[in-house]
Every structure is written in structure tokens, then in C-alpha cells.
Amino acid sequence: MHWDGDRFFASIEQASDRRLRNRPVAVGAERRGIVVSSSAEARRFGIYPGVPIRRAKRMCLALTVVPGHFDLYEQFFRQIIELCEQTTPLVEPLAIGAAYLDLTGTAALHKQGAASVVQDLRDTIQRWLRVSISTGIAANKTVARIAARLRKPHGNVVVPAGKEAAFLAPLPVQWLDGIARTTRDTLELAGVRTLGALAHAPSDALAIALGRNALQLQRKAQGVDETPVRHRDTVQALWRETIGFPEEVWDEPLILRTLHVMLERLLARVRQQQVEARRLSLLLRYTDSEESSTSQSLPQPSALDEDFLPLLPSLLAAAWRRRVRLRALTLSVGRMYRPSAQLSLFAEPKRESGALHRLAAAVDLLRQRYGEGVIRRGSISDKL
């Protein structure tokens, strides 16, 4: 099963503040100047994520715009995950507002089928938290995720085993994760516009158009995905970078330069997974094997080095509580969010114009092709 929150941020704002209920509400990204979530009442006026705040206010004079309260969203998300873990022990949080559940053995555990268990979970979340979710039930993660998005809001789609390919076939290719805008354009030029066409396209032609991911994308379009639902601890390991020193270190500039490189590697993986993070944590291991740690959170989630780099000096100062030499560093990110797919479509302040996102994508591509050391940030390379 995959669940996806309906108008997640806006619905949480309405659930936590009675004054906002039954009113058009938009959650605004202050530094980007766009709507990141809108209530059902606001959507009746055509106000959707990605619409500039100024335009949204003109579209609905009664619109209430509230800033994002990310601590609140994370609190609600934790409560939903706890309810999910009462249903099955194998829950994989994908990002704030979405998760996978492995329902294998549900009949034996709850004495009822998966569809009934999911409906009970949906009802419990609605009753306790006043938040609705859309759900998809299928034999694998790819199909379940698409099914959950197909009939939002309040949707619940079940894809019987063996019917995956038929279910996916008529859907546009962009429904498949991993199909970026440039990839979609390439496929459309080749006449591949649906997942059914992608599933039956010649493998050699796809390899030329899509590169090394061609076979994986085609198998998913055929409804084949063997990726297991992973426990949250396994997922968190993906967002962690550790470096051990061959000798004890004390030089603070060297440690900061090392943290810069670790952060670059970590955020490259974050961007590759098409998510953003809000929290940065640092754990230090001393030469006597003792450890200390600390963390800081951004006001809003991001996947850009420029947003996280300024946190490193204060993180190191706060974590290095004992003036003892260090043996290892562990840097991790958390509180993952899915970025708005429409951010690049509208004008934004210069600081968030999209140029930094394009720059990060270009740097990631260079490093993938030619190695990590092919390009370095000036503040780091000048001192290496």
C-alpha cells in the first residue's frame, strides 16, 4: 500500500485551527512567493500548488494565506506513521505526507483482508486527526504509488495482482517516477506517450533515448517492480554520510572542509531521489569512542548546498562539546519533503530563481560522468 496526503499542509492547518475550516486557505512559501498547498475551498477558485501568492489573492479575495508550519506538519506525519505501524511493522516513510506499507500477512494478523485494513486505517486517520489520505493497494510499490495518486482526493484504488500492466497502459508516461521533463520530451518525439507504449517499445531504441535507466523504466511501465518496502532505519541510512580519519584530528579548518565535501555528497543523493530535507545533524566520535551530536533545522525544506553550508560552523561548534581529538564524523539529513513540481514554472525572487537548482543539476551530472573531483566549490578547493 502507498498512501498520499490530500492537500496535506492546508488540511493540517485547517485541522489545527477551527477558524480556517470551510474557508479557502493557501499555505505560502515565503521566500519563493508561491502556493505550496491549498484547501479544497481554495481549489474551487483555481488555486493550486505552484500559483504565485499575488495571483492567488487576486483569484480569491477571501483567501487566507498562512506561512508553512513545518514542525506542525512533521508532528502530524509522525502520528500517522504511528497509526500505520499499528497496522503493519514494515512502514517506509517516503517524505512528509507519504509512505509505503507492506501488507503481507495482514489477513493472518488482523483477521481481515488488505482492503478492509486500509479502510480502517483511513477512517482512523480521518477521525483522530481530521486529515484525509488517498491510498493505492497493489502487488508492488510502483503500481501502488500511481494508484494512490489516480483518484485524489479521498481515493482508494486497488489493482489486482496480474493486472498491473493493463492498469498502467493508458496512463501518460509522466505518471512514472523517474520520467523528468526532458525525458518525457525525448519519448514524445519518439511517439512514446503512454506507459503502454513505453512497456512495448524496442529495448535498443529506449537505451539510446534514456541511457542506463531504460531497462528499469521499461520494467516499471510493464508493472514490474521488485523493490521491497524498507524499514525506516534502512531509509534513514540513505541520508547519512560517515568519514573516519586514519589519524586523530584536531584541525578545525580541516574538519570543516571535510564536512563540506560530505554535505555535497549527501545533498547530491537527496536531489537524485527528488526530495528535499529540512534538518541537518552532525555526530562526532572522539578518540576514546565517546560520541556527541546536535542538529539544526531550516525554516523551509531545501536540497541546495547554499542553504545548508552556513549551518556547518555552528553545528560543529555545538557538537564538539569536549576538547578531545576526533576519530570520525557522521553527517545526516532528515525531515524529508517532496518539492513542488511546479516551482520552475513561475517567476520567483532572484535568490530562488531556479538558477541554483539548474546549477546543482549540472554539477551533479558532471560528477556522475567524470568523477566526484571534477568540480569543487571554490571555498573548498582553494584550501585542499
What pLDDT shows up at residue 340? 59
What pLDDT shows up at residue 383? 46
CATH topology (fold) of 1-137: MutS, DNA mismatch repair protein, domain I (3.40.1170)
Cβ-based burial of 19 (10 A; exposed 0-12, middle 13-18, buried ≥19): exposed
Task: Give the pLDDT confidence of 188-231 residue by residue, as tens digits.
Answer: 888 899 999 999 999 888 887 777 788 999 999 999 999 999 98
Instruction: Compute the distance between CA of residue 133 and CA of residue 154 in angstroms, rounded to an integer.
Output: 6
Helix or strand holding residue 241 (H, E): strand 240-249
Non-local CB neighbours of 173 within 8 Å, separated by 6+ positions: 179, 184, 187, 188, 192, 193, 194, 195, 197, 198, 221
Of 87, 130, 33, which is closest to residue 349 (Cα–Cα)?
33
Task: Give the pLDDT confidence of 338-379 residue by residue, as tens digits.
Answer: 875 444 333 344 344 467 777 887 887 787 777 777 787 776
Of 76, 100, 74, 77, which is closest to residue 89 (Cα–Cα)?
100
CATH topology (fold) of 165-221: DNA polymerase; domain 1 (1.10.150)
Q: Hey, is 39 helix, strand or coil?
A: coil
Q: In the structure, what pLDDT confidence band is assigned to residue 384 with cuts at 50, 70 and 90?
A: very low
Instruction: Compute the distance between CA of residue 33 and CA of residue 88 in angstroms, rounded to an integer.
Output: 39
Give the residue extent of every domain in the chain.
1-137, 165-221, 240-335+354-381
Instruction: Compute the distance between CA of residue 148 and CA of residue 153 in angstroms, rounded to an integer.
Output: 9
What pLDDT shows up at residue 353? 45
Percent of the chain with pLDDT over 70: 93
Q: Hey, is 278 helix, strand or coil?
A: strand
Q: In the structure, what pLDDT confidence band is assigned to residue 177 with cuts at 50, 70 and 90?
A: confident
Q: In the structure, what pLDDT confidence band is assigned to residue 12 with cuts at 50, 70 and 90?
A: very high
Task: Give the pLDDT confidence of 51-71 residue by residue, as tens digits.
Answer: 999 999 999 999 999 999 999
First to last CA, the chain: 48
| Cell numbers that stand for 223 in this block | 508493472
Instruction: Compute the distance between CA of residue 293 and CA of residue 279 in angstroms, rounded to an integer.
Output: 13
Average pLDDT, the chain: 88
Residue keyed to cell 481481515: 112
Q: In the structure, what pLDDT confidence band is assigned to residue 33 with cuts at 50, 70 and 90?
A: confident
What pLDDT shows up at residue 380? 53
What pLDDT shows up at residue 211? 77
Non-local CB neighbours of 41 within 8 Å, separated by 6+ positions: 22, 23, 24, 25
Q: Compute the average pLDDT of residues 293-314.
A: 94
Contact 284, 319 (CB under 8 A): yes
CATH topology (fold) of 240-335+354-381: Dna Ligase; domain 1 (3.30.1490)
Q: In the structure, what pLDDT confidence band is assigned to residue 333 with cuts at 50, 70 and 90?
A: very high
Does residue 109 have a pLDDT over 80? no
Task: Give the pLDDT confidence of 238-289 residue by residue, as tens digits.
Answer: 899 999 998 889 999 999 999 999 999 999 999 988 899 999 999 999 999 9
Task: Give the pLDDT confidence of 88-103 residue by residue, as tens digits.
Answer: 989 999 999 999 999 9
What pLDDT shows up at residue 379? 60
Q: How far is CA 221 from CA 89, 176, 186, in A?
A: 29, 7, 16
Does residue 233 have a pLDDT over 80? no
